[in-house]
Amino acid sequence: MADAQTESNHKAGVLEGGGDESIVPQTQGLWVRYQGCWLRPLAVQSVKIVQEQFEARPDDILLVTYPKCGTTWLKALVFTITNRFRHAITGDDHPLLTHHPQDLVPFLEMPYRQLHPLSDLEKLPSPRLLSTHLPVTLLPPCVVTLGCRVVYLCRSPKDVLVSLWHFIYKVNKNYSIDKALELFSKGESSYGPIWEHNLGFWKESISNSDRVLFLKYDEMMAQLVKHVKMLAEFLRVPFTEEEVRCGVVEEIVHLCSFDKLKSMPVNSSGVSDRIGGEPMENSSFFRTAKVGDWANYLTEEMAKKLDGIVEEKLSGSDLTF
């Protein structure tokens, strides 16, 4: 009920603080700042519930992404790799043939968490595969203290901006690419600033390399087999020599490829409310998957502006895009 009110305030352009001083409304009314992170107003309550009530298990595996960095792909890959002894990759009953990849790995801060208590996660057998967009600073502390493993996937900020713009533009035709760039460059975007999100997990991956695997979308695209093997090693289910010889790695690459997933009826038709508020077409998670697609939407000047900001924010860190 509270969230329905929040969402209707949001649509009416009413900015809310929710009585919580850590929530600062943002001028455009698209996001509010919560503990240093920009969130959709509707997401704040879910994030708070996760922070306060989520009980991690030491063998939990968290798939962490900034939005539009390849969440759908990572979920498909990790689900397939870790479940390959239960679900044969070439079998005609593989769950990816009948489920959207987004639905195979539960999202911690799913919309309307207050209506869907965390008990759904508690019922899952170990080891659990879970996903989140939370920056490291907002993760429930138990995730760190229990040493849960994290796979972090990031992507060139220019491609993230363009992917995100397409996604939001579908439901908000007032959201121009110029406006998207203006806000994104100030860090104002769901779970932003993106550079803080990236840097937080970059640092974690350096200090805890056995616990945090840091991946880049463009590098994965360029070397698929290498990254699928790397994922399996990190997830402690490495491929046997026999599996490699029989082409299991290539089969996983193929099953989880953009073209294959996009063509499946379960992903190409229907709608679902995954982000809260607006039901989105299942196909909206499969657009083009092209590295460097930003060049079709951003002028040189726009690209230079974002590059300059990102370089400055990441300077001294060795993290580059």
Helix (H, G, I), strand (E, B) or coil at 205: helix
214 near ligand PAP, rule: CB under 6 A: no
Does residue 65 interact with ligand PAP by CB under 6 A? yes
Query: Which one of residues 89, 104, 256, 302 is an interface residue with ligand PAP (CB under 6 A)?
Result: 256
Say how far apart CA 55 and CA 145 lie, in whole Å: 11
Closest contact distance (angstroms) between CB of 137 and ligand PAP is 19
Site pattern 15..54 for ligand PAP (x: CB under 6 A): ----------------------------------------
Distances (CA, A) of 287 to 148, 166, 259, 281, 293: 32, 9, 10, 11, 11
Q: Which stretch binds ligand PAP (CB under 6 A): 8-16, 40-48, 143-151, 251-259?
A: 251-259
Our CB check for ligand PAP shows the closer of 16 and 258 to be 258
Longest Cα–Cα distance of the chain, Å, equals 60
DSSP string, 253-267: HHHTSHHHHHHSHHH
Side chain identity, residue 279: P
8 Å CB contact between 24 and 15: no
Smallest separation (angstroms) from ligand PAP to the CB of 58: 26
133 is a catalytic site residue: yes
User: Which window, 70-78, 135-143, 193-201, 297-305, contacts ligand PAP (CB under 6 A)?
Assistant: 70-78
> Among 1-9, 35-43, 45-53, 67-75, which window interacts with ligand PAP (CB under 6 A)?
67-75
Q: Is 166 in the site for ligand PAP (CB under 6 A)?
A: yes
Q: How far is the CB of 288 from ligand PAP (least distance, A)?
A: 4
For ligand PAP (CB under 6 A), the number of binding residues is 21
- Alpha-carbon radius of gyration of the chain: 19
CA triple 149-72-105, angle to 5 deg: 55
**Residue 69 contacts ligand PAP per CB under 6 A:** yes
Question: In the chain, which residue ranges form alpha helices assigned H by DSSP?
Answer: 2-11, 41-53, 71-82, 119-122, 141-145, 157-169, 177-185, 194-207, 217-222, 224-234, 241-245, 248-255, 258-263, 265-268, 300-314
Q: Does position 151 bind ligand PAP by CB under 6 A?
A: no
CB nearer to ligand PAP: pick between 24 and 303:
303
Binding of ligand PAP by 287 (CB under 6 A): yes
Q: Give the one residue of 73, 184, 195, 214 binding ligand PAP; rule: CB under 6 A.
A: 73
Residue 277 contacts ligand PAP per CB under 6 A: no
CA distance 293 to 47: 31
Catalytically active residues, by annotation: 133
